[in-house]
Amino acid sequence: MKYACLIYLDEDAPAAQQALEKLLEGLRAAGKAGSAAVLEPSASATSLRRRGGAATVVTGPAGCGREHLAALVVIDAQDLDAALAAAARLSSSPLDIEVRPVKGRARCGPRRMTLGKIVPLQARD
């Protein structure tokens, strides 16, 4: 089963940025970088909010906390326990990693997602 590891960090903490870079170096060395994407800083985000039927485009991240989504890694694991163990091996603090099952058939892989750039997926048959 595929699991998404959503990596959050405090963008103002140099140690967190260094930890993310170390994580990415490890993924590249293991040949797993094709299933990872690093996001630009949250200041570059644009959010779409729908309230009362009207959509509003807002500059900035959707969340209001100190920690922001910084990267996404998709892993294969037998079950949630194995996915959590794999996420724990991905990195140590100060990164927070949220692990979620990927719904349905995951379509991410080296040909679909490359480091730093997400390629649009083909429509499902």
Question: Residue 107 carries which DSSP code?
Answer: -
Q: Regarding the domain with residue range 2-30+41-105, which homologous superfamily does it belong to in the CATH classification?
A: Dimeric alpha+beta barrel (3.30.70.1060)
pTM of the model: 0.69
Cα 86 off chain centre by: 15
pLDDT tens column, 4-25: 888 888 888 888 888 888 877 7
Which of 25, 9, 37, 5 is closest to 93 using CA atoms?
9
pLDDT tens column, 35-72: 778 888 888 888 888 888 888 888 878 777 778 888 88
Which of 82, 95, 75 is closest to 15 using CA atoms?
95
Domain boundaries, the chain: 2-30+41-105
- Token pair of 9 as six digits: 């960090």
Query: Using CA atoms, how far apart are residues 21 and 9, in angstroms rounded to an integer?
Result: 12
